[in-house]
Amino acid sequence: MMALFLRDLKLSVRAGGGAMIGVLFFTTVVAVIPFGVGPDLNLLSRIGPAIVWIGALLSALLGLDRLFQAERDDGSLDILLMQETPLVLTVLVKCLAHWAATGLPLVIASPLLGLFMNMDEVAIGAVMLTLLVGSPAITFIGAAGAAVAVALPRGGLLVSILVLPLAVPVLIFGVSASYAAVEDPAPFLPPFMFLSAITLLFAVIGPVGAAAALRSSGD
């Protein structure tokens, strides 16, 4: 499993620019917002957590279609389906490697982009923490979508269409927890716990659904 994790980590970084493209897209989305809403610093700081979260969500969708594409192209997907290791465990490891290569850089880049939005230290810390907890859920959801579209020649758009509606609760509770950290009457813990529960739920459902879809495509 460790060898598979390191292999997928290298493939995710090399394929199509990997983390760099995601971070650049993330930066572009957040950087153009001030040009659209104007130079009002109070407005930027107020909408900052939501903008950073939306940018991270859209950036995380970029490479999801490549989650199983390399195995499909070189034929190793059939080997994964026939090996003795449970396919669900293999998919889980691949998801963790994909998140480490594409999702974790977004979390690391979020403080700098928070400064672009005139966010204070508490808001930046809250957004970074919620992205760290919530962004893996997007990968787990995307695993099922990528497995459904793995046999299609241009499945990237289909993966985004399948994943985006399911990722909306992650966005809602991530933004809610971020705002709760900077607004005194609103408690931070309840939305953060819901966000954690969603990630744990999809950590189970996502690999199971992806494994079932991969077996179906193999048949």
Nearest to 195 by CA among 179, 211, 212: 179
Q: What pLDDT digit, counting tens, does each position of 51-80 carry?
A: 999 999 998 888 787 777 767 766 667 677
Report pLDDT for 17: 53
Instruction: With a cut of 50, list the residues of the chain below it in pLDDT.
Output: none
Q: What is the reported pTM?
A: 0.88
Report pLDDT for 146: 85
Please report the DSSP string for the chain in residue order: -HHHHHHHHHHHHHGGGTHHHHHHHHHHHHHHHHHHH-S-HHHHHHHHHHHHHHHHHHHHTTTGGGTTHHHHHHSHHHHHHHSSS-HHHHHHHHHHHHIIIIIHHHHHHHHHHHHHTT--HHHHHHHHHHHHHHHHHHHHHHHHHHHHHTTSTT-HHHHHHHHHHHHHHHHHHHHHHHHHHHSTTS-SHHHHHHHHHHHHHHHHHHHHHHHHHHHHHH-
